[in-house]
């Protein structure tokens, strides 16, 4: 971890100068928090980095959606699948990371952003992967992958379940 910046270095070049990739994506941050790879100070630093370096959007219900990275190329800061995206599963996992770090207000704000997509879409209760800047679902309404990706970690946390390989156990 680059302690002075609060960033986890995700990738290092395998050729040339073997530089570390300076810009993490959200998964680097929330997985480090969720799986216990970051201590309390590191979680705080990483989430502070998200607050100060990643673009976010405010939804009509006062919620918040955070862009997945600052990665380029992305054709003029537009949606680019898997690199520069407003994605519900990413925001749900970021909300969990904030909850685990004791940042409950921020976690709740992120959940409100996701709820905007659940309640304001053509298929109520469904949650696809892509979001508009106002929190509504952008496309692929037939996919409900964000519900399964986001609900699993939240249910494990609420029920006190810990990962233990293919089997779950109570903490």
**Does residue 120 belong to any structural domain of this protein?**
yes
**Residue 123 reports pLDDT greater than 80:** no
Copy the structure tokens of residue 55: 């673009």
Domain range for residue 116?
Answer: 26-170
- Omega prior to 7 cis, within 30 of 0: no
Residue 27 and residue 25: Cα distance in Å, rounded? 6
Encode pLDDT of 76-100 as tens digits.
555 555 677 888 888 988 998 998 8
**Does residue 11 belong to any structural domain of this protein?**
no
Phi and psi of 41, rounded to 5°? -65, -45
**Does residue 14 belong to any structural domain of this protein?**
no
**Does residue 144 belong to any structural domain of this protein?**
yes
Instruction: Give whole-number Cα distances, 170 to 33, 66, 152, in Å.
Output: 19, 31, 15
**Does residue 79 belong to any structural domain of this protein?**
yes
Q: Cβ contacts of residue 92 below 8 Å, gap of 6+?
A: 110, 111, 114, 146, 149, 150, 151, 153, 154
The packing angle between helices 88-100 and 145-159, to 10°, is 10
The domain tally of the chain equals 1
Of these ranges, 7-11, 22-26, 56-60, the one predicted with the greatest mean pLDDT is: 56-60
Residue 169 and residue 141: Cα distance in Å, rounded? 34
Q: Cβ contacts of residue 76 below 8 Å, gap of 6+?
A: none
**Does residue 133 belong to any structural domain of this protein?**
yes
Per-residue confidence at 135, pLDDT binned at 50, 70, 90?
A: confident
**Which residue, among 98, 90, 80, 154, has the nearest Cα to 128 in the 3D structure?**
90
Query: Is pTM beyond 0.85 here?
Result: no
Encode pLDDT of 15-28 as tens digits.
777 777 777 888 88
**Does residue 4 belong to any structural domain of this protein?**
no
**Does residue 17 belong to any structural domain of this protein?**
no
Residue 2, beta-bridge partner list = 7
The mean per-residue pLDDT over the stretch 139-165 comes to 63
Per-residue confidence at 106, pLDDT binned at 50, 70, 90?
A: very high
């Amino acid at each position: 971890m680059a302690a002075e910046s609060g960033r986890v270095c995700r990738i290092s070049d395998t050729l040339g100068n073997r530089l570390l990739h300076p810009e993490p994506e959200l998964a680097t941050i929330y997985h480090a928090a969720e799986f216990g790879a970051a201590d309390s100070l590191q979680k705080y630093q990483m989430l502070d980095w998200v607050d100060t370096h990643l673009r976010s959007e405010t939804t009509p219900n006062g919620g918040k959606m955070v862009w997945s990275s600052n990665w380029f190329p992305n054709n003029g800061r537009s949606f680019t699948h898997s690199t520069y995206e407003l994605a519900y599963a990413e925001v749900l996992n970021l909300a969990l990371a904030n909850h685990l770090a004791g940042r409950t207000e921020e976690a709740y704000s992120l959940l409100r952003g996701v709820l905007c997509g659940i309640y304001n879409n053509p298929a109520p209760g469904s949650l696809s992967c892509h979001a508009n800047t106002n929190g509504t679902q952008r496309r692929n309404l037939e996919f409900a992958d964000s519900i399964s990706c986001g609900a699993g970690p939240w249910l494990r946390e609420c029920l006190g379940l810990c990962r233990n390989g293919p089997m779950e156990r109570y903490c």
